[in-house]
A and B are shown apart, each in its own frame.
Chain A
């Protein structure tokens, strides 16, 4: 085995539910890649089970959930519950899209560390991920 290389942050960018707006998700994926991270994009229309399995198999540090359809209050609790069940407790989870301010406290309580709104810059997002991605076990 050779010398230890700098650790790459692995991120899953997921589109839960039927929402088909992927402009933002793709921009975020590209920005994270340009920041030196390894980004797995799930594609559209993912079930909570698919997202969590992907995070598990890919052993990611971070999950980004992109949603603009209003279905987040139905889908996110299921995702967070599954993550816990599979033992993925230290994965950093953030979200972005169209999420009313009044839902943010509930989402934070579920374990979602940050809710990014429209107008978020990629640099702010990249910085957040860099600083909050779990330091490896």
Chain B
């Protein structure tokens, strides 16, 4: 079925860089509205030009302020920028307070910048499910760089590698933990390490501590993650940080990108399949009488969830073969 007129208009608008179209498109995808998949299908071929940069790190590291400075500098260099800022959804209320934009509000009225705040909607990993697709929309709209700011809550910050080309891990000295703050997993995912608030006392120590840890880590990939000291206050280190990002981008283009991209694409395909398979099978199983019966049995401790699952699946494939016959 050909895409509706509305979808075609939105796609045209996105490709033109029209902000309203971008806004509506991201919403449709985020809300999994019926035509979301069509939108992604039409826009996907137009992606691949933007450099996706993920910024992660503990709360208080100054990510938002750092991003503001980065974007301002990028704009000075004539680049257009998209920012996706992610904040956590409350598991109790389902609501979210999206406050990252506040620190970048100067940039709201810059026509070359697009900022979108997203709630995780309880997706684990520091990003929203739709973050990837939102970044794609911004990519398709012609942005040179898309910056993705993660929640920054802790260990589960690794989602960002699936989305970004370059991952920046940010720290600030005196946050209490310093090196401890680089939770398990973050040492491995960082392509660039930033010690923010470089005007502080312990900045140099924090930087050398990270450098020391990086020395110990095995060089798997041929890219040695640099450690940059920045101060959003003075502007120190911002230009250097952008150089590092550019260098990493160039490095990826030398072939590493293909390998990593293939891996990423396969992962995405698996995720997409998982979602569709789960949805279709679950919907089917849930609608059967078996479901209720087995749930009761589990409640009465006459069976366990795993055994019940086996039963359901067995029944399902039987009926499939029946159908075939």
Contact = CB atoms under 8 A, between A and B. Distances in A.
Direct A–B contact in complex, judged by CB atoms less than 8 Å apart: yes
A38 B27 contact: no
B95 A53 contact: no
B124 interface: no
A78 to B, nearest CB: 14
Interface footprint category on B: 35 or more
A2 B273 CA distance: 11
A110 to B, nearest CB: 22
B129 to A, nearest CB: 8
Interface residues of A, number: 34
A124 interface: no
Nearest to A43: B102
B98 interface: yes
A49 interface: yes
Interface in B75-99: 89-90, 93-99
Interface string A1-18: 111110110000000000
A35 B121 contact: no
Contacts of A3: 32, 279, 283
A1 B36 contact: yes
Nearest to B116: A57
Contacts of B103: 43
B20 interface: yes
Interface string A56-80: 1111000000000000000000000
9 contacts: A1-B36, A2-B279, A5-B121, A33-B93, A36-B95, A38-B95, A38-B98, A40-B98, A50-B109
